[in-house]
Structure 1
Amino acid sequence: MIGWLQGERIDSWEQGSRKGLLINCSGVGYEVQLAERHLHRLSDGSHCTLWIHQVQKDDGCSLFGFPERQERDLFRILIAVNGVGPQMGLSLLECCNPEELVNAILEGDLRRLSQAQGVGKRTAERLAVELRERLASWSQRSEAPLSLVDRSDVKALPIQAEALKELEVTLMALGYEDLEIRRALRAVAAEESKPEASDGDAWLRESLRRLSLEAG
């Protein structure tokens, strides 16, 4: 398996929506697909180093290249999710840089994730649910950790801290996931007629209403 290439860019190629480089490595030319935002970094004749993910299929082999190892590793995590193939994984990394993408997944920002070509709401939800814990622990282990999203979005809600704590405990006891709860709380806070900061019962009712709407 090819995991890393170092050589000279001798040409670029384009096939439909796919774009990449032809790289001369010790007299052998490798066609490597890249995100478009990476293509602009390299001009013909320039020396380049790429971390590679190789996909082997019956009809041939495809190489996907990334300037940084961390981004290649993130790509591998993305395509391990059911329904997310290499092209969709590259599309996600085209739409967001690695830090933005990790934060979007940890926050459950489905709108941001769905901006990537081919990513619908169901796939965005699957990414957020399946990768939240894995990406948090992976980011902490990586050589150049990404800045993880904190809980400032929840702390900034117009609700008293004690009421917020009880509300989150209650919703988790009802079986809701953390990212579902956070999305519901943000939606309630955005309403003009949001509950009073001290009215935990009203926040609970409105949050449950929001959660039931999403489930429907």
Structure 2
Amino acid sequence: MITHLKGRLVEKNPTYVVIECAGVGYFVNISLHTFSKITDSENIQLYTHLQVKEDSHTLYGFAENSEREIFRLLLSVSGIGSNIARTMLSSLTPLQIKNAIACGDVPTIQAIKGIGAKTAQRVILDLKDKVLKIYNIDEVSPNLNNTNKEEALSALEVLGFARRQSEKAVDKVLSQDPTLSVEDIIKQALKNL
């Protein structure tokens, strides 16, 4: 597996770059996000993903390791191939994709060219748990409306309760009184867990 390339930038286009490493030129497919991060300096380094098929070996390059992680997660979803994953990373930043998946934001993912409603729902369904597990919850959901709810859920997770179970208990407490403080939400939720 080729994990990264470090060499001289020979050619730069919005969809690919050519990097010369030890006399060998590598054709690397990139997203617009990576294109915007690549400077015109002579030497560059890209994290790579090598896709091996029966009839081809294709390299995909990423300016950041986090972008490569999201790309690999997207490839794990049935119906998402490398071209659609690259289109997604060209339309949205890795952080925007991560947040959309974590928050269950179907319209944001569906707005990407080539992604329909069913595919957007499948992406969220397949990846939400992985994204919440891999990335810190505070990092993934800064734009959720109820910060008290999130703080309470984070505290319950630290106490060892499963997120889904905690979320049901917290939602039940908040449906009775949405003005509770974080401490009161946790106390009431613990009674229901």
TM-score, length-normalised on structure 1?
Answer: 0.64
Aligned match of 2:188:
none
Cα distance in structure 1, aligned partners of 2:94 and 2:8: 25
Aligned match of 1:187:
none
Seen in structure 2, the aligned counterparts of structure 1 residues 119 and 43 have a Cα distance that, compared at 3 Å, is same
Aligned match of 1:129:
125
Cα distance in structure 1, aligned partners of 2:74 and 2:133: 15
Seen in structure 2, the aligned counterparts of structure 1 residues 166 and 77 have a Cα distance that, compared at 3 Å, is same
Aligned match of 1:209:
none
Aligned match of 1:11:
11
Seen in structure 2, the aligned counterparts of structure 1 residues 61 and 103 have a Cα distance that, compared at 3 Å, is same
SS at match of 2:141: coil
CA deviation profile, 1:122-144 (whole Å, cap 9, x unmatched): 0100111111111011113xxxx
Q: Structure 1 residue 152: deviation in Å?
A: 3.6
Tell me, yes or no, if structure 1 residue 166 matches structure 2 residue 172. yes
Aligned match of 1:53:
49
TM-score, length-normalised on structure 2?
Answer: 0.71
Seen in structure 2, the aligned counterparts of structure 1 residues 153 and 44 have a Cα distance that, compared at 3 Å, is closer
Structure 1: unaligned runs, 5 residues or longer: 157-163, 170-196, 198-216
Deviates more, 1:32-41 or 1:85-94: 32-41
Aligned match of 1:74:
70
Cα distance in structure 2, aligned partners of 1:151 and 1:46: 39
Seen in structure 2, the aligned counterparts of structure 1 residues 96 and 40 have a Cα distance that, compared at 3 Å, is closer
CA deviation profile, 1:99-120 (whole Å, cap 9, x unmatched): 1111111111111101222111
Tell me, yes or no, if structure 1 residue 153 matches structure 2 residue 159. no
**Any conservation in 1 of the 2:17–2:27 contact (CA below 8 Å)?**
yes
Q: Structure 1 residue 58: deviation in Å?
A: 1.7
2:106 to 110, 117, 127: 110
Deviates more, 1:114-123 or 1:38-47: 38-47
**Any conservation in 2 of the 1:20–1:33 contact (CA below 8 Å)?**
yes
Aligned match of 1:213:
none
Q: Structure 1 residue 45: deviation in Å?
A: 5.6
User: Where in structure 2 are the equivalents of 1:199-210 lying within 5 Å?
Assistant: none
Deviating runs (4+, > 6 A) in structure 1?
A: none
Q: Structure 1 residue 68: deviation in Å?
A: 1.2
SS at match of 1:87: helix
Cα distance in structure 2, aligned partners of 1:146 and 1:82: 28
What is the root-mean-square deviation of aligned Cα atoms in Å?
A: 2.8
**Any conservation in 1 of the 2:13–2:35 contact (CA below 8 Å)?**
no
CA deviation profile, 1:195-216 (whole Å, cap 9, x unmatched): xx8xxxxxxxxxxxxxxxxxxx
Q: 1:71 is matched by which residue type in structure 2?
A: E
Aligned match of 1:33:
29
